Amino acid sequence: MTDTAAQPIEVFYWSTPNGRKVAVMLEELAVPYRVNFVDINNMEQWTPEYEAISPNHQIPAIRDPSGPGGEPIAIAESAAILMYLGRRFGRFYPQDERQRVAVEQWLMWQISSFGPFLGQAHHFNWAAPEEMPYAIDRYHKIAERLYGVLERHLRSREYVAGDYSIADIAIYCWAARHARHRIDLEDFPSVRGWYEAIGERPAVKRGMAIIKPGTVDAASPIPAWEKRKDNRPL
Ligand SMILES: N[C@@H](CCC(=O)N[C@@H](CS)C(=O)NCC(=O)O)C(=O)O
């Protein structure tokens, strides 16, 4: 499938790492899309209408009016969306089986590890109602392990799997929250080089900047950050 989108693709979006993967991908593809903000902080994902699009009531999701067979299609789950868009527009998702499997391996690594565990680090660092040192320490160690994996992999590569791909997009959007999961990119120089290079891409800048007017980006500097950093030995 490599036609251009006749009508805009609708994106159900909030400015989080998983939401931003889709915004960055659509900006890279330069196809028409329309953003529907779903404010997950105000529980806007919990409607029957949205359940029909996203069964787990999460963002991101898309609705493509010109899906397979020319019929509309709704898709939830960021990796499924990235793979769909990659196939639909024939970009950032190679067709060669060996290259495609490499992209899929790193995309699956992101959605199974470099995301869920980092999200737990965010939760115990910043949102838990009480301080739980065991949980903070556990998820910080896992975050360090994951960045170590990426660091060793990127020492001999420009991108995670061949050319720039949906795997880079997915991992980048989580790495953009490194301060929030208390990772210093100085400790991971190959990750930092890759991260900075991807961050220079104009489409990435545009996708990352999408935020509902009048709201605050959850990745903005965290007021308690400096204080906690000084007080904790982790
Ligand atoms: N596996 C899903 C995870 C999506 C996800 O965690 N979305 C979060 C925001 S980043 C969300 O919608 N949270 C609200 C909720 O779970 O109710 C994906 O990769 O798309």
Tens digit of each residue's pLDDT (9 = 90 or more) over 185-229: 999 999 999 999 999 999 999 999 999 998 877 655 454 444 444
Helix (H) or strand (E) holding 177: none
Confidence at residue 218, expressed as pLDDT on a 0 to 100 scale: 62
* CATH number for 109: 1.20.1050.10
Whether residue 144 lies inside any domain: the answer is yes
Q: How does pLDDT run across 184-197, given as a tens digit for each residue?
A: 999 999 999 999 99
Whether residue 207 lies inside any domain: the answer is no
Q: How does pLDDT run across 39-60, given as a tens digit for each residue?
A: 998 999 999 999 999 999 999 9
Q: Is this model's pTM higher than 0.95 or not?
A: no
- Structural domain that includes position 193: 97-201
Of all protein residues, the one whose alpha carbon is nearest to atom 11 of ligand 1 is 58
Q: How does pLDDT run across 99-127, given as a tens digit for each residue?
A: 999 999 999 999 999 999 999 999 998 88
Q: What share of the chain is helix, strand, coil (3-state, %, to 5)?
A: 55, 10, 40
User: What is the count of structural domains for the chain?
Assistant: 1
Whether residue 142 lies inside any domain: the answer is yes
* Residues in contact with 33: Cβ distance below 8 Å, sequence separation at least 6, in sequence order: 5, 8, 9, 10, 11, 26
Sign, CA torsion 136/215/56/204: negative
Helix (H) or strand (E) holding 233: none
Whether residue 73 lies inside any domain: the answer is no
Q: What mean pLDDT value characterizes the chain? A: 91
Confidence at residue 4, expressed as pLDDT on a 0 to 100 scale: 53
CA distances from 86 to 25, 49, 61, 94 (A): 9, 27, 15, 8
**104 Cβ below 6 A of ligand 1:** no
Confidence at residue 219, expressed as pLDDT on a 0 to 100 scale: 55
181 CA distance to ligand 1 middle (Å): 17
Confidence at residue 214, expressed as pLDDT on a 0 to 100 scale: 86
57 CA distance to ligand 1 middle (Å): 8
Whether residue 159 lies inside any domain: the answer is yes
Atom of ligand 1 nearest to the CA of 16: 10
Whether residue 43 lies inside any domain: the answer is no
96 CA distance to ligand 1 middle (Å): 30
Confidence at residue 226, expressed as pLDDT on a 0 to 100 scale: 44
Q: How many Å apart are CA 49 and CA 32, to the nearest integer?
A: 23
Whether residue 120 lies inside any domain: the answer is yes
Residue 74 pLDDT > 90, yes or no?
Answer: yes
> Are 127 and 119 contacting, i.e. CB atoms less than 8 angstroms apart?
no
Whether residue 234 lies inside any domain: the answer is no
Confidence at residue 210, expressed as pLDDT on a 0 to 100 scale: 96
